[in-house]
């Protein structure tokens, strides 16, 4: 694993995020067990976002009400099959995880993991993570944002579809609390260079993130999935970036985040 410093009032959305999707809709048939999970658990733990040009803006979430408690909140963008999501949620029961994914079988598998492991700190959204960030998530409300192995869109003409852009970094920074952490992992060398460049060229006068150099308020250790193991066997090394929203200087009336734990 390569280490890049990386460890192992709402902004104008039209400026922040280009309206091209950063994901591919993948078709998939649910197994019998996944279909059962979907029918019984999705109405309780999940929600679908509206799609299409006629959709109306989503109402902002009350994250405390969504999870039924006041606890640190982590947004995972692109939870895939949910293996890392469930494992990290189980290891961190005092942290609430909101997983966003478009692949229905992956969400159904995550529902099964949540059910079998008795997890109460995971909620799921099926839809565009850009919409989740721009419309559903309040400013300064997240302790962490995880983006593990996003679609690299390797062809040059598709680079505009990559999720990591100047605008999305600014948007994520705005949604993080001061001291909150952005954790990105990719096994695509070209995308790693793109991410490093985007992080290095942020506007310091706007919401932004800087390299984390202190203890992290959330877990940083990821389980190694079969996908990642195959990538390493194929010679594709994982690059990780761990950045944080700067904490303002302490004033007589200001507070700083507490409860940081060791990486």
Dmax over CA atoms of the chain, in Å, equals 59
DSSP string, 114-183: HHHTT--SEEEEES-HHHIIIIISPTT-EEEEEEES-----SGGGGGG-S--HHHHHHHHHHEEEEEEEE
Q: What percent of the chain has pLDDT over 90?
A: 72
Residues tagged in the binding site annotation: 76, 101, 128, 151, 155, 187, 225-228
Query: Residue 36 and residue 56: Cα distance in Å, rounded?
Result: 30
- Domains of the chain from N-terminus onward: 55-245 (3.40.50.150)
Model confidence pLDDT, tens digit, residues 9-38: 344 443 444 444 544 555 568 888 889 989
Residues 6+ apart with CB under 8 A from 185: 147, 148, 149, 222, 238, 239, 240, 241
- Positions marked active-site: 151
Q: 73-96 burial by CB neighbour count: b if 16+ within 10 A, else e?
A: bbbbbbbbbbbbbbbbbeebeebb
Model confidence pLDDT, tens digit, residues 201-230: 999 999 999 999 999 999 999 998 777 777
Residues tagged in the binding site annotation for substrate: 155, 187, 225-228
Residues tagged in the binding site annotation for S-adenosyl-L-methionine: 76, 101, 128, 151
Model confidence pLDDT, tens digit, residues 30-83: 888 889 989 999 999 999 998 888 889 999 999 999 999 999 999 999 999 999
């Amino acid at each position: 694993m390569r280490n890049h410093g990386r460890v192992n009032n709402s902004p104008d959305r039209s400026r922040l995020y280009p309206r091209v999707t950063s994901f591919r809709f993948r078709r998939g048939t649910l197994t019998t067990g996944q279909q059962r999970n979907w029918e019984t658990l999705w109405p309780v733990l999940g929600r679908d976002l509206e799609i299409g040009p006629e959709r109306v803006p989503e109402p902002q979430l009350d994250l405390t009400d969504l999870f039924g408690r006041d606890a640190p909140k982590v947004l995972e963008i692109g939870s895939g099959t949910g293996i890392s999501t469930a494992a990290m949620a189980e290891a961190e029961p005092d942290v609430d995880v909101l997983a966003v994914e478009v692949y229905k079988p992956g969400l159904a598998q995550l529902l099964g993991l949540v059910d079998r492991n008795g997890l109460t700190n995971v909620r799921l959204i099926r839809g565009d993570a850009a919409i989740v960030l721009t419309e559903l998530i309040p400013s300064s409300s997240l302790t962490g944002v995880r983006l593990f192995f996003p679609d690299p869109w390797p062809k040059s003409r598709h680079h505009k579809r990559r999720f990591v852009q100047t605008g999305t970094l600014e948007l994520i920074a705005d949604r993080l609390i001061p001291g909150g952490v952005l954790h990105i992992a990719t096994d695509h060398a070209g995308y790693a260079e793109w991410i490093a460049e985007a992080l290095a060229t942020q506007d310091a006068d706007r919401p932004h993130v800087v390299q984390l150099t202190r203890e992290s308020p959330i877990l940083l250790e990821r389980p190694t999935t079969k996908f990642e193991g195959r990538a390493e066997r194929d010679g594709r090394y994982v690059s990780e970036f761990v950045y944080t929203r700067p904490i303002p200087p302490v004033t007589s009336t200001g507070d700083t985040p507490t409860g940081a734990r060791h990486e």
